[in-house]
Structure formats: C-alpha cells, structure tokens
C-alpha cells in the first residue's frame, strides 16, 4: 500500500474494462477517490464502484468520449465537484484495429488518433490546467504501449498514436517539472484484456504472442495497475518523463534470448 494515495482524487479514462478497470480497483484499494470514465451505454460501472467502496475507497462513474473536449472537461469538473481535487490523471482509453496500411481509411486513421492521441492530449491539458490553478503537485500517467517504440505493421495508426504519446509525455514532463507536476507513461506489453480477447482466444495466436515475451506469459491487468500506483505515489517522487515498460521484457529483443542471433 501507498498510504499517501489515501484520499487523493484520480481520474481514469476508459475505466469500465481492462487496464482502466484494474487501475480503478487498485486505487480504490489504496483508498483513493476515483472518477471512472466510461464510454459505452452498455458499460455498467456500478459493480466496480461498489467494489471500490468495499475496499474503503470512493468512486463515481462519468460517461464521456475522450476525443471530445467538452467531455474531458466534464471529467475534471466531476473530480472537483465530487471530491474537491484532481491529483492524478490517467489517460488510458485506447482503441486499435488491424488494417494493411495501403487500405487504411482516413476515417479509421482519424478515429484511432482522435481517441489515443488527441484524447490523451485533452486529458493532459485539462489536468495540467487544473493542477496549475490549484497549485497541486499532480501526476499524469499516460497509458502508451510497447508500440511507442516497436513498429507494428497493419496497426500504423495505433503505433503512430503511441509514438505521439511518448513525445507528449516527455515534452510535458519537461515543461511542468518546475511546477512539480510529474508526467510519465506506462507501456504495457501483451496483457490479458478485452482489446486482445479475439487474439488470445485462439491458442495458436496466443502462443505466438507468448513467444515474444521473455518472461513467458501474457501479463495480468493488475501488473499494470501496480506500476500505476507506484508512479502516482511519492515513492516515485524523483521520476518524471519516463516510459515504464511493463512488458515482460518484450522490448528487449526476445529473438536473442538464449544467445542466438
Ligand atoms: P480495453 O479495450 O479493455 O480498454 C479500452 C477502454 O477504452 C474501453 O473501456 C473502451 O470503452 C474505452 N474507450 C474506447 N473509446 C473511448 C472513447 N472515445 N472515450 C472514452 N473511452 C473510450 O483494452 P485495454 O487493454 O484495457 O486498453 C487500455 C489501454 O492500454 C489502451 O490505451 C491500450 O492501447 C493500452 N495497451 C493495452 C495493451 C494490452 O495488451 N492490453 C498493450 C499495450 C497498450
């Protein structure tokens, strides 16, 4: 546990499922106040809110599309109105779809960039603006991907969006370090969440992904949540502008494992 997170207010985008949901629960276990942003009408976050409350945390759900400026402003307002602060902003919402680049439509390109990069930008900007106004030494965590550095054919828009998130994190970290606002990214590798549901349901495809992970297994959402609470806590007080790769070693040239190559 990180006792300094108790009573702090955390906004997490796209938190009805997957990594966002795991992070929301972990911050709840840290007895933080969590604003759970969800996107779809069919996403019921009430059970998650109850689970967080059972751990001694507090939570509210706020529907919104991170690619819309007004919706992101609404998230920060909700944090302020319900919990009186915004200490940690986690830009997690993200989408992907597989298309050979010669067939990638402008509509698909824009949709992925709008959610993954523009959505994270809006979250960063609104959070920084609030933190400056209220003199909060806040923390911003962007959920990037190993594909901020690993090229990914057929996912051009996704890789470009995450590469953009990397440079946004580093630039904002530099710009707001004098105000003691820390900005970092987490780059997950292959984690068992709905974004990978189809891929991991196929045992051959799953084994193919596992072969890319030196630690030899698909990561659990809780392993990303553990990285997030550390980056949000004062235990990481001297850390800003980094990407924390939580990827089982995927970015360490797994084809060289065992001395081959
Ligand atoms: P996920 O599909 O469960 O979560 C994505 C969430 O974003 C969903 O809840 C979805 O409803 C929400 N969302 C989609 N469009 C939105 C919008 N316009 N506004 C608000 N929310 C929206 O998958 P996940 O794995 O939990 O993904 C979370 C983040 O982690 C993403 O940014 C993804 O790129 C990143 N990531 C995941 C993995 C992995 O292996 N799971 C690896 C690297 C990076």
pTM of the model: 0.98
Q: Is 158 a catalytic residue?
A: yes
Average pLDDT over residues 16-21: 98
CATH number at residue 123: 3.40.50.720
Q: Mean pLDDT over residues 200-222, rounded?
A: 96
Instruction: Report if residue 207 sits inside a domain.
Output: yes
For residue 112, how far is its CA from the centre of ligand 1 (angstroms)? 11
**C-beta of 195 in contact with ligand 1 (< 6 A):** yes
Which pLDDT score, from 0 to 100, does residue 258 have? 86
**Catalytic pick among 158, 217, 238, 253:** 158
| Ligand 1 atom at minimum distance from 224 CA | 30
Does 43 reside within a domain?
yes
Is residue 86 a part of any domain in this protein? Answer: yes
Any atom of ligand 1 within 6 Å of the Cβ of 192: no
- Cβ 142 under 6 angstroms from ligand 1: no
Identify the pLDDT of residue 261: 62
Ligand 1 binding pocket includes 65 (Cβ within 6 Å): yes
256 lies in some domain: no
Confirm whether 254 is domain-assigned.
no
**Could you list the residue range(s) of the whole structural domain that residue 194 is in?**
3-245
Percent of the chain clearing pLDDT 90 (strictly above): 97
The three-state (H, E, C) secondary structure of the chain, written as one string: CCHHHCCCEEEECCCCCHHHHHHHHHHHHCCCEEEEEECCCCCCCHHHHHHHHHCCCEEEEEECCCCCHHHHHHHHHHHHHHHCCCCEEEECCCCCCCCCHHHCCHHHHHHHHHHHHHHHHHHHHHHHHHHHHCCCCCEEEEECCHHHCCCCCCCHHHHHHHHHHHHHHHHHHHHHHHHCCEEEEEEECCECCHHHHHHHHCHHHHHHHHCCCCCCCCECHHHHHHHHHHHHCHHHCCCCCCEEEECCCCCCCHHHHHHCC
Overall domain count for the chain: 1
pLDDT at 69 over 90: yes
| 244-255: average pLDDT | 96
pLDDT 10s digits, 170-206: 999 999 999 999 999 999 999 999 999 999 999 999 9
């Amino acid at each position: 546990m990180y006792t300094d997170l108790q009573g702090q207010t955390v906004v997490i985008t796209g938190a009805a499922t997957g990594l966002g949901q795991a992070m929301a629960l972990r911050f709840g276990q840290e007895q933080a106040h969590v604003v759970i942003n969800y996107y779809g009408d069919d996403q019921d976050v009430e059970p998650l809110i109850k689970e967080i409350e059972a751990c001694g945390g507090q939570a509210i759900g706020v529907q919104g599309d991170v690619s819309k400026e007004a919706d992101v402003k609404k998230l920060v307002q909700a944090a302020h109105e319900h919990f009186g602060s915004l200490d940690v902003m986690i830009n997690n919402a993200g989408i992907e779809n597989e298309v050979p680049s010669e067939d990638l439509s402008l509509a698909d390109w824009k949709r992925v960039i709008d959610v993954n990069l523009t959505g994270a930008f809006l979250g960063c900007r609104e959070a920084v603006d609030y933190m400056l106004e209220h003199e909060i030494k806040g923390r911003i965590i962007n959920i990037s991907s190993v594909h901020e550095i690993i090229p990914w054919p057929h996912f051009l828009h996704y890789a470009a969006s995450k590469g953009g998130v990397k440079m946004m994190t580093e630039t904002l970290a530099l710009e707001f370090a004098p105000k003691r606002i820390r900005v970092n990214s987490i780059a997950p590798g292959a984690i068992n969440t709905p974004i990978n549901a189809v891929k991991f349901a196929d045992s051959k495809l799953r084994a193919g992904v596992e072969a890319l992970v030196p630690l030899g297994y698909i990561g659990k959402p809780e392993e990303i949540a553990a990285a997030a609470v550390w980056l949000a806590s004062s235990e990481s007080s001297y850390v800003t502008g980094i990407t924390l790769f939580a990827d089982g070693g995927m970015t360490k040239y797994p084809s060289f494992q065992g001395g081959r190559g």
